[in-house]
Structures are given as structure tokens and as C-alpha cells.
Amino acid sequence: MAAAQQIPFNGEENILTLELRALDKTASSWVLALVGAMMMAYANWSPGTAFWLVLWMSFFFFVAIIALVSVHCRKHNLLPGLSDKAWTVQIRAVYLLAGCNWGIAACWLVPIGNQDQALVVTSIVFAAVTLAVPCIVYRAAFNLFQLPIFLGVAAGFALSPFQYSMLLTTGSLLMAVCAILISNALGDQLLAALRLSIDNKELAKRLEQRSAELEAANRELLIENSTDALTSVSNRRSLMTFARALRGNHAIILADIDHFKSYNDTFGHAEGDACLIAVAETLKMSVRPDLDMIARLGGEEFVVVLTETCEERAILVAESIRRSVSKLFDASRVRRKVTISMGVSATTGSPRKMLSMMMEEADAALYQAKARGRNRVMAAAPHVEHRAIA
């Protein structure tokens, strides 16, 4: 059996590809973030903030559109020239810009608003961080997004006049540190899961390939065990298996090449083998490949098994084979004129004949064909002779 071929594999590139695919599934979070941004703008809208809120919203909208278009391009391979590594640079830039945008808004809006407005701002920016949690699969993007947000919230509370501003500032900073630690821990676990997924796929490919090779080897062994090596027709073992499954009316034609020893001695074994192959091919062309069987019993002796047939048809098939074999010399397939003698045995209703009995009858009919001058077909019972047409 041939050795298993090596399947090209680059673990890090495959992991990066899976990370990008995971990020592509978070596209809906950008839509929700746009909704949250509009809610935050509405809660803080005033004549003094209107211009800056519109400017902030416009920038965030621009970043979100870039992110969504990038996801679409990656999914549909619209920019095949960009490698996965090139895409990661773009992704990091987008998430950093988005995070800075949220962080600047928090740093600006928390100090200038009242406590209710500050609550709305912090709730929405923390919700934005929550929406980005699936990005932990690519932790660089997540950290570039969440860190500016927490720092912006901390700065906003530090600048605010609220009673517990320093406590809220400290809490925001601690949340930033915890978010980094959690993202790194979860990122490692997800990365390990991705590696395991890739390893499993690699193993599945190798097992599938090995299974296919074993299946091919088994088919070759089956063919070797059921096929005659020289003529490529079935062998005796395959004949026995086929015969056990026979039902209904069928017939056996036992065929023997006339004076084959003389042919072999005259022209040599190589030419003798060529003669056997030519006769076997003639037999195969004379039967129905999906219903009948040709087998080589040994030497120059063959057997034809015809299913769903009667004695009359079996005799006609045998006569057709005899005439075709006698024309092999005219077609330059053999070195001299070759003839074949055949005995036919067919089922005659109940009780059903065993293969061994039919083989005996066909062999007896073949013996009579040889005794009566060869190049003829003899039926087992009744003993009907079909002479060659001169």
C-alpha cells in the first residue's frame, strides 16, 4: 500500500483564519453599537453639544461602516490580494478607532452632564464593551477596543464633580485591568480550542485519506482474490460465490480450446498466453456483463454462466462464441486458426440442479464434442450436437 501523502498544513495561518472568521460573526454588534451611540447622543443632546455630538456620531458611523464592509469583503473574498495578516492590521486599527471614539465620548460627556446623563453614558459604553466580548477570540482587537473605553470612563469620572468620582475612577481602572486579564485568559483558552479544532480536522483528513487507501487496497486484494491474473476474467473462487447466489433458470457452458498444447509448444508460452487472453475477451464480449459470468477454471478451460436463460438460448450463445473464436486468426489476434469445443448444461425446472451436477453434465457434453471432432457445441441432455458450419 502506498504511503500516506503529506497534507500541507500551517497551524498559525489556519488559526489566524479561524480567528478572522469568528470576528466576522460579530458584525451584528456594530449595528447595535450604532443604536447605542444614537441613544447616548439623544440623552446628551443640547444646543451646546449638538455640533460635537453630530461630529462624534459621524466619525463612529464611518468606523462602523468600514468594519461592516470589511466583514462583507472577507466573507465573499472580494479582495483576494489581501492576506489574513493584512486584514489583522486593518481590524486592529478599526477596533482601536472605535474604542478611542467611545472613550473620548465618555471622557467628554460624563463631566459635563448630570448624574442621570452620566449613568446613561457609562451604561452604554459598558454595553459596547459587552457586545465586543466575542472578539476575545482575537484578543488584540478586544483589548485595543476596551482599554480606551475604560480609560475614557475613568478620566471622565476623575474630571466630574460627583461625590464618589475618585471611587468610580478607581473602579473603572480596575475594570480595565480585569478586562485585560480576563480577555487574555479566555483568549488563551479559545486559542487552544482553535488549535484543537485544527488538529482534529487535520487528523480527520489523514484518517479519511488512510481509509481511502485501505479501501483501495482492499479492492485490489478482492480483485486479486476473485480474478484470474492472466485473462482478467473471474477465477474458480469467484465462480463458486456467484453460483451460490444463482436463482431461476440458468445455464453452464464449459469451453476448452482445441489443440492448445500444440499451439503452446509451437509458438511458445508468451503466444499461448496471448491466445488465452484473446479467447477470454471473446467470451466476455459474447455475454451480458451485468448478468452473466466468465471464469477461467485453469489451463485452456473456461466456464460461462448464463443467468435468466434457457438451454436453447445457451446453445445460441455458445454457437456465437464458437464462431467468434474461429475468426480470431482472420483478425490477426492469434498465430494460427484456433477453435473451441463446448458443452452446455441448463436447469430444467424442479428440482433445481446443483452447480456440481451441471458442471459434470457440461463436462460430459464437452468430452463428446472433443470425441466427435472438436470445434462444436454439445448439449448435455438431450444429447444434441451442433456441428461447425463448413
Q: What is the CA angle 221-226-228, rounded to 5?
A: 105
Q: Give the C-alpha separation, 6 to 69, whole Å.
A: 37
6-34 as b/e: b if 16+ CB within 10 A = eeeeeeeebbbbbbbebbbebeebbeebb
Q: Give the C-alpha separation, 302 to 296, whole Å.
A: 4
Q: 323-329 contacts: CB < 8 A, separation 24 or more?
A: 324/282, 324/285, 324/286, 325/257, 325/279, 325/282, 326/375, 326/388, 328/275, 328/278, 328/279, 328/282
Nearest to 42 by CA among 103, 154, 120: 120
Instruction: Give me the catalytic one of 202, 215, 281, 300.
Output: 300
Q: Give the C-alpha separation, 262 to 272, whole Å.
A: 10
Whether 306 and 313 have beta carbons less than 8 Å apart is answered as yes
Q: Give the C-alpha separation, 338 to 296, whole Å.
A: 18
Q: Name 6's Cβ contacts closer than 8 Å, sequence gap at least 6.
A: none
Is 271 noted as a catalytic residue in this protein?
Answer: no
129-145 as b/e: b if 16+ CB within 10 A = bebbbbbbbbbbbbbbb
CA 40 → CA 37, 108, 121, 139, 238, distances in Å?
5, 12, 6, 27, 82
**Beta-strand relationship, 301-307 and 340-346:** unpaired
Dihedral angle of Cα 145, 150, 155, 160, to the nearest 10 degrees = 130
Cell of 283: 467470451
The alpha carbons of the chain give a radius of gyration, in whole angstroms, of: 43
Which residues are known catalytic residues?
300
